[in-house]
């Protein structure tokens, strides 16, 4: 029983000091705020809702898994993202040289600034994720589902690279 009590006290101490959290983040105790501006869209192929969906997904991830307060400007952390690629390419071709499967790839450029610990900054880091779909389906028919899955992957990768530092 004593060992369990000591272990619980050590875990609480580690979390309260900002050394470690059970969500896997590595945020110093004096870092309190984050700014996540609207994701800019720079890709040639247009998806009108992607910027908004990605912005909301990033804000939700940081809200749920950190205790950082989200502020409009001058946060201790700042995460500036831009969609730089939105591409569809054939990935599997049949004997008749017809695409059997297509791949939607989304690429995001990230600038992460840690105003208190600049050694943690990331500048112009690129993240890509993709999903394949059957070419019998039009992109319009599957785009919403594909984008949701890809956004989830991108947000996880961006979160891990910035505050989880994996």
Structural domains of the chain ordered from first start = 30-164 (3.30.160.150)
Which H/E stretch holds residue 134?
strand 122-134
> Maximum CA pair distance of the chain?
71
CA 44, 47, 53: angle at the middle one, nearest 5?
A: 125
Q: Are 25 and 63 in contact (CB under 8 A)?
A: no
Q: Tens-digit pLDDT profile for the chain (166 aa)? A: 555 444 444 444 444 444 444 446 779 999 999 999 999 999 999 999 999 999 999 999 999 999 999 999 999 999 999 999 999 998 877 766 777 899 999 999 999 999 999 999 999 999 999 999 998 999 999 999 999 999 999 999 999 999 986 6
Token representation of residue 27: 């945020």
Q: How many CB atoms lie within 10 A of CB 99?
A: 16
């Amino acid at each position: 029983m004593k060992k369990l009590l000591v272990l619980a006290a050590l875990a609480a101490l580690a979390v309260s000091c900002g050394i470690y959290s059970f969500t896997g983040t590595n945020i110093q105790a004096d870092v309190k705020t984050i700014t996540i501006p609207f994701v800019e869209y720079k890709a040639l192929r247009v998806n009108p809702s992607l910027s908004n969906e990605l912005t909301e997904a990033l804000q939700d991830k940081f809200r749920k898994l950190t205790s950082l307060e989200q502020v409009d400007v001058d946060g201790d952390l700042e995460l500036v993202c831009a969609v730089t690629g939105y591409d569809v390419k054939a990935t599997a071709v049949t004997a008749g040289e017809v695409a059997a499967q297509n791949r939607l790839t989304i690429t995001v450029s990230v600038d992460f600034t840690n105003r208190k610990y600049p050694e943690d900054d990331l500048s112009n880091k690129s993240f890509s994720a993709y999903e394949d779909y059957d070419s019998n389906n039009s992109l319009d028919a599957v785009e919403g589902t594909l984008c949701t899955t890809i956004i989830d992957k991108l947000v996880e990768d961006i979160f891990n690279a910035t505050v989880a530092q994996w």
